[in-house]
Amino acid sequence: MALATLTARPGQALRGVVRAPGDKSISHRALILGAMATGVTEIEGLLEGDDVVATAEAMKSFGADVERAGDGRWRVTGRGGFKEPANVVDCGNAGTGVRLIMGAAAGFAISATFTGDSSLRKRPMMRVLAPLADMGAEFICREGGRLPLTLQGGGLKGISYRLPMASAQVKSAVLLAGLHAEGDVAVIEPEPTRDHTERMLRAFGATVEVDDGPAGRVILLAAGQTLTGTQVRVPGDPSSAAFPLAAALITPGSEVTVEGVLLNPLRAGIFQTWREMGADLTITNERGASGEPVGDVTARFSKLTGVEVPPERAPSMIDEYPILAATAAFAEGRTLMRGIGEMRVKESDRIALMAAGLEACGAIVEEEPEGMIVTGRPDVRGGATVETHGDHRIAMSHLVLGLAAASPVTVDEPGMIATSFPGFVALMRGLGAQLA
Ligand code: S3P
């Protein structure tokens, strides 16, 4: 039975060594590239969250064989092309899933209809549809570029596309469409965003050139490339690791290590920011896994101080502002987070919901159109029930806050946590957290 609410109670220090679940961004890409490739792709450490499982199902509907071989071990057999799905493709809550799959599908002469849950059906898809239409795809969608929508692909030409916003999803959709376009594809990023697609395309045998110039980062994918199945080891998700690490930073006496965390510099902005706030964070055992840097991260309880986060750091920690805001509530002074307008079009309006939730818990929050300022203090009141609007990161951020506040914090719709972090409650309880 689905849980109606979940409550975090302040209690003892958190201690232990855990592994983060597989990285969500890399898990989606491993399944999609595996399905587009020719031959077998063996994946280890796949995140088995609802978002990624929806992508696995979608890949089956486009004609790939997708089998679960064991815990986190999946085998995808691609046919080097997509067939037309027999039914509507439901991507659940996953913006990454639907946007990347639309890009991949646009390269083939098929028609596919996409939908998702009530959150995904509110999110903007025009950012992906516009460049795909420039390349030659056709679509029909709800008002405002919303799902459900139908895409007709095939006959694509190359493109040189400057991203209007910092979005790895849009970049990835254009690159995946480009695999089956007649001409070369270049994507120009004003600010570099997570580069897992570029890295993984190379692992599947494609040549991707990256050039940092005065106008930004240019990613070039020449026409006529093919992908061959390979092995992918998915590292631990820094966006999920951030929750137990944050809990350790704000709960007196705590020390928590998360092993195997992805440390790609385009994902690691939260660690740099916490360090600037005075966090005791250490990284050990740095190594590589499938072309990505990985390490073990230890966080100990720390006296935090507010900082100004440089706006240009936003792409490297865009999913971590909710948990940053929760930790900023315990920091002495003001934490300024600006240049984060993209937060308003995530699974929910994360600026509005964090501001409402933190204020209900006793923090002072100033909301701006594209930012927020949190004025914190070491003794946070808590004692609120927070509306999450079905957003997994809003739920986990407030639960972490509740572990260190004076009074318990309750969140609604905790079932949504399974979209990205299905083992969250068990993992946190294993560290000593009181969640019920
Ligand atoms: C993602 C990119 C980011 C991020 C999302 C995952 C990806 O979204 O917020 O959780 O895997 O490419 P945008 O591309 O919309 O910034």
pLDDT tens, position by position, 51-64: 999 999 999 999 99
By the 8 A CB rule, do 258 and 244 touch?
A: yes
Task: With a cut of 60, say whether residue 153 has pLDDT above it.
Answer: yes
What pLDDT digit, counting tens, does each position of 314-358 carry? 999 999 999 999 999 999 999 999 999 999 999 999 999 999 999
Please give the full DSSP string across 340-353, using - where no structure is assigned.
-GGGGGSSS-HHHH
Average pLDDT of 274-283? 98
Mean pLDDT computed over every residue of the chain: 97
**Residue nearest to ligand 1 atom 16, measured at CA:** 167
pLDDT for res 289? 86
Average pLDDT of 266-271? 98
Nearest ligand 1 atom, CA 318: 9
Helix, strand or coil, per DSSP, at residue 280 = strand
Average pLDDT of 78-96? 97
**Residue nearest to ligand 1 atom 4, measured at CA:** 319
Please give the full DSSP string across 302-356, using - where no structure is assigned.
---B--EEPGGGGGGSGGGHHHHHHHHTTSBEEEEEES-GGGGGSSS-HHHHHHH
- Residue at token pair 């969500």: 24
CA of 212 relative to ligand 1 center, distance in Å: 21
Q: For residue 202, name the pLDDT band (cuts at 50, 70, 90).
A: very high
Which residue from 165, 318, 345 has its CB within 8 A of the most atoms of ligand 1, so it is best to mutate? 318
Task: With a cut of 50, say whether residue 1 has pLDDT above it.
Answer: no
By the 8 A CB rule, do 218 and 210 touch?
A: yes
Nearest ligand 1 atom, CA 345: 15
5 phi and psi, to 5 degrees? -145, 165
332 phi and psi, to 5 degrees? -75, 120
CA of 233 relative to ligand 1 center, distance in Å: 20
CA of 405 relative to ligand 1 center, distance in Å: 30
Rounded CA separation 43/306 (Å): 40
Helix, strand or coil, per DSSP, at residue 282 = strand
CA of 406 relative to ligand 1 center, distance in Å: 34
Nearest ligand 1 atom, CA 127: 15
**Residue nearest to ligand 1 atom 15, measured at CA:** 167
What pLDDT digit, counting tens, does each position of 380-399 carry? 999 999 999 999 999 999 99
pLDDT for res 171? 98
List residues bridging with 151 in a β-sheet.
Answer: 112, 139
Average pLDDT of 124-146? 97
What pLDDT digit, counting tens, does each position of 219-246 carry? 999 999 999 999 999 999 999 999 999 9
Helix, strand or coil, per DSSP, at residue 87 = coil
Nearest ligand 1 atom, CA 197: 12
| Percent of all residues in the chain with a pLDDT value above 90, rounded to a whole number | 98
**Residue nearest to ligand 1 atom 11, measured at CA:** 25
CA of 172 relative to ligand 1 center, distance in Å: 10
Nearest ligand 1 atom, CA 169: 14
- What's the pTM value of the predicted model, to 2 decimals? 0.98
CA of 168 relative to ligand 1 center, distance in Å: 6
CB-based contacts of 106, cutoff 8 Å, min separation 6: 132, 135, 137, 151, 153, 156, 173, 177
**Residue nearest to ligand 1 atom 9, measured at CA:** 319
pLDDT for res 416? 96
Catalytic machinery residues: 319
Rounded CA separation 160/276 (Å): 38
Which residue from 25, 47, 392, 396 has its CB within 8 A of the most atoms of ligand 1, so it is best to mutate? 25
CA angle 244, 248, 254 (to 5 degrees): 135
Contact residues of ligand 1, CB 6 A cut-off: 25, 96, 167-169, 172, 194, 318-319, 342
**Residue nearest to ligand 1 atom 10, measured at CA:** 319
Task: With a cut of 90, say whether residue 211 has pLDDT above it.
Answer: yes
CB-based contacts of 16, cutoff 8 Å, min separation 6: 256, 257, 430, 431, 432
Nearest ligand 1 atom, CA 315: 16
By the 8 A CB rule, do 333 and 306 touch?
A: yes
- Residue at token pair 């004692």: 383
**Residue nearest to ligand 1 atom 13, measured at CA:** 167
Task: With a cut of 90, say whether residue 300 has pLDDT above it.
Answer: yes
CA of 375 relative to ligand 1 center, distance in Å: 27
pLDDT for res 2? 64
